[in-house]
Amino acid sequence: MGRHASGRARFSRYGEESRIFIRGGHGASAESLQVSCMPAAHPEGYIEAFANFYRDAGAIIRTHRSGNTSDPSLLHLVPDVRDGARGVKFVAATVESFASGGAWAQAVFR
């Protein structure tokens, strides 16, 4: 997928015409519209991603502290312990690969 300074992305499947995706454009999911306020490739999008993460994590924590059950649709928006473990395994495999001169290192995720 190629990105353009205009915030558009071009996608081409083999044997099909190219498609251009635009932030908030045709085919955007409700989830992407909820978390996208800036045009694609805008530098504030990086900071906005963290703001969205903290908003969602805060909502889950507040709900838990009040003794209620979080909306299951929110739980997939924030990482859990398994996601953290996968990240650690990825970093360990990267370090192993570097130490062996760039040889492939298997990161086993269970």
- Residue 18: pLDDT above 70? yes
Q: What is the pTM of this model?
A: 0.47
How many whole angstroms separate alpha carbon 72 and alpha carbon 85? 21
- Residue 2: pLDDT above 50? no
**Which tokens belong to 25?**
């454009």
**For position 1, what pLDDT does the model report?**
44
- For residue 110, give every residue at least 6 positions away whose Cβ sits within 8 Å of its Cβ, in sequence order, or none: none
Least Cα distance to 61 among 81, 41, 78, 48 occurs for: 78
pLDDT-derived band at 38 (thresholds 50, 70, 90) equals low
**Which tokens belong to 63?**
């709900």
Percent of the chain clearing pLDDT 90 (strictly above): 28
Least Cα distance to 35 among 78, 81, 98 occurs for: 78
**For position 3, what pLDDT does the model report?**
43
Segment 31-52 mean pLDDT: 72
**For position 94, what pLDDT does the model report?**
95
**For position 72, what pLDDT does the model report?**
83
